[in-house]
Amino acid sequence: MPTLILLMIFGAAAFSFWSAGRAAAERAEVVGRDACRAAGVQWLDQSVHAIGLRVIRRESGWLGFERTFRFDYSIDGEDRHIGRLVLRGDRLVAFSGPVTREPSQLH
């Protein structure tokens, strides 16, 4: 009986971690796509790739995750450049990639 309870707790924690990771990847995808659209460049592969995960302390004092994602974009259709963005929760904290000629608000 205790083994089953521990297995259920472990399963719930694993599902929660996986679900939060997918939500962060979807958020990163939206940010990357919007940045490419605003800069007038082509977003390649229509996806982002998780390249980093680390534990951080949030402003509230609780521990949380900082996830780093990579995406590719092209300026003229023949080149490939790498963009990078960092999310803490669902908040964008760092971005490097295509830039616009005029400042615009990313979602």
- pLDDT bracket for residue 75 (50, 70, 90): confident
Instruction: Output 7 or 106, whichever has higher pLDDT.
Output: 7
Q: How many domains does the chain have?
A: 1
| Closest residue by Cα to residue 41 from 70, 69, 77 | 77
Within-domain flag for 102: no
Within-domain flag for 101: no
Within-domain flag for 83: yes
The residue-averaged pLDDT of 73-97 equals: 89
Within-domain flag for 39: yes
Separation between Cα atoms, residue 22 and residue 2, nearest integer Å: 30
| Closest residue by Cα to residue 69 from 103, 39, 10, 26 | 26
Within-domain flag for 86: yes
Reading the block at residue 28, the tokens are 């990163």
Within-domain flag for 107: no
Q: H-helix or E-strand containing 35?
A: helix 2-39
pLDDT surpassing 80 at residue 106: no
Domain that holds residue 12: 1-96
